[in-house]
A and B are shown apart, each in its own frame.
Chain A
Amino acid sequence: MTDPQDNSKKVAEARWQPKIIAFLCNWCSYAGADLAGVSRLQYPSSVRVIRVMCSGRMNPSFVIRAFQDGADGVMVAGCHPGDCHYIQGNLYARRRYALLAGLFDFLGIERDRFLMSWVSASEGGRFAQLVTELTDRVRALGPQTQLSGRDHANG
């Protein structure tokens, strides 16, 4: 794991850009992100989107693996309860990710790096706002070192 001194060096160099991974469900949150783009809403380009069919498809291992591979922040978004294309996938996800968030808390893993929310297909603005918020939080925390000891290649 990197030395905290390396962290402040990195940030100071201002060459470091946070890497945010956003897992978005195909039907609602991905469409919402799309709408943000089409509406020319500004949001940080640090986010990399991975489309999944449903937030219920998301395995907490994906989030952990993203951090292992060097993600500085991870976002999971799905349809609002009641709107899930598969009826209840998001409700399973809600239960699962509550546990993951709680476990991060217990271990002292920087909780602010993980964000989960509901984003509907019409909430382009909300998507942009969430990404901006997460990026700001992550920027303040610096590069993620707790789980990223694993060597990750560029690109």
Chain B
Amino acid sequence: MIRYIENLRQFLDEVAEGYRLFVPRQRPEGWFFEPSGGAEVELEGYPNTVASPKEYLFPQNETLYRYEAGEEGLKYDNETAEQTGQVIFGARACDCAALTRLDKVFLEDDKDPYYARRRENTVMIGLVCPGAVAPSCFCTEVGLSPAGVAGMDLRATEVGEGLVIEEISDRGAALFGSPALKGGKSWREASAEEAAEAKRLQEAAERDMAPARDLAEIELEFDSPIWARESERCIGCGICAFLCPTCHCFTIEHSGSKKKGKAIRTWDTCQFQAYSLEASGFNPRPDREQRLKQRLYHKFKYFSDRYGMLLCIGCGRCVSACPVNIDIREILASFEREKSVTS
């Protein structure tokens, strides 16, 4: 069924009765996803959030297990992810598509139980973009769309004063069967005109972002001088990786003592020097040049070679947030130019 929501606040208020709800909220520092009761939601002028919603499925810190020394040796206690469901409302198409990439990493082959549990208990309600929402959006250049549905459970399009909601997955459909929403007080079936208008807006958004190039076609060159030139100004922080919706590297730390403690998984990044440092002291990626190369290769070659999809989803956060304006779109364009010059 295609539904229409007249009053978003009322709808989210009802959702919040049965689920932990996270919506984008504007702060002086930018937009961030925050827990919400629903009624205070205000999405006027909403572009995209500073940090991606991946933290709700893959938190920056996750306790993997606790241990305690007893008479019979160490006792382990597996920390389990929350059982109650969560709803992320307002994630953009790019951020939802990012989840399909994370699914490949965490759910194919051996399932990561922490991610899997959260994924099963999360409903992603994506919000269609009116076009490019941020200065560095480029989702269409990586084969995605501002109105795309990859990774979504429900797709919301702003039509008139309310929203058209389309079911994308069974999980999304099931949301409307939940006790909080079954009654249909905050939603109704969409009219044919409303559904058609949603489709028109989606197509207009795609036209607005017609891509200038297909970044999947670009061939990177391992020994190019471009890497040294572009990495020269890199300060080696973790902004690009930590804001990126698809970066998923982590490290495991232990805190506590021999008697009692826990293991914690935290985000890590190949952009930090120690990431690839070996116990001997040798580092296969000692310079920022190699680390920048690693980042681009992972996003645009290694991952797609293995899984058939680019790891970069074109949200542009790394571009906007880089304090020294390292722009991966520009780097890729340099390789495109190199190729056309030499070929």
Bound state CA distance, A152 and B256, in angstroms?
6
Q: What are the interface flags for A122-155 relative to B under an 8 Å C-beta threshold, 1 for contact and 0 otherwise?
A: 0000000000000000000000000000111111
Confirm or deny: B255 has a beta carbon within 8 angstroms of a beta carbon on chain A: yes
Do A154 and B259 touch (CB < 8 A)? yes
Give the size category of A's interface with B: under 10
Q: Chain B contact residues: over half helix, strand or loop, or mixed?
A: strand
Q: Chain A contact residues: over half helix, strand or loop, or mixed?
A: loop
Bound state CA distance, A128 and B160, in angstroms?
74
Confirm or deny: B260 has a beta carbon within 8 angstroms of a beta carbon on chain A: yes
Bound state CA distance, A154 and B260, in angstroms?
7
Minimum C-beta distance from B257 to chain A (A) = 4
- Identify the closest chain A residue to B66 (Cβ): A151
Confirm or deny: B261 has a beta carbon within 8 angstroms of a beta carbon on chain A: yes
Q: Which B residues lie within 8 Å of A155 (CB)?
A: 257, 259
Confirm or deny: B262 has a beta carbon within 8 angstroms of a beta carbon on chain A: yes
Minimum C-beta distance from B266 to chain A (A) = 13
- Identify the closest chain A residue to B63 (Cβ): A151
Task: Name the residue in A150, A151, A154 with the highest tally of chain B Cβ atoms < 10 Å from its Cβ.
Answer: A151
Do A151 and B259 touch (CB < 8 A)? no
Q: Which A residues lie within 8 Å of B257 (CB)?
A: 153, 155
- Identify the closest chain B residue to A152 (Cβ): B256
Do A150 and B260 touch (CB < 8 A)? no
- In B259-289, which residues have CB < 8 Å from any A CB? 259-262
Bound state CA distance, A150 and B255, in angstroms?
8
Minimum C-beta distance from A154 to chain B (A) = 6
Bound state CA distance, A124 and B261, in angstroms?
38
Q: Which B residues lie within 8 Å of A152 (CB)?
A: 256
Q: What are the interface flags for B239-256 relative to A under an 8 Å C-beta threshold, 1 for contact and 0 otherwise?
A: 000000000000000011
Bound state CA distance, A152 and B262, in angstroms?
10
7 pairs of A and B residues whose beta carbons are closest in the complex? A153-B257, A153-B260, A153-B256, A151-B255, A153-B259, A153-B261, A151-B256
A residues in contact (CB < 8 Å) with B: 150-155
B residues in contact (CB < 8 Å) with A: 255-257, 259-262
List 15 A-B residue pairs with CB atoms under 8 Å apart, sorted by A's residue number. A150-B255, A151-B255, A151-B256, A151-B261, A151-B262, A152-B256, A153-B256, A153-B257, A153-B259, A153-B260, A153-B261, A154-B259, A154-B260, A155-B257, A155-B259
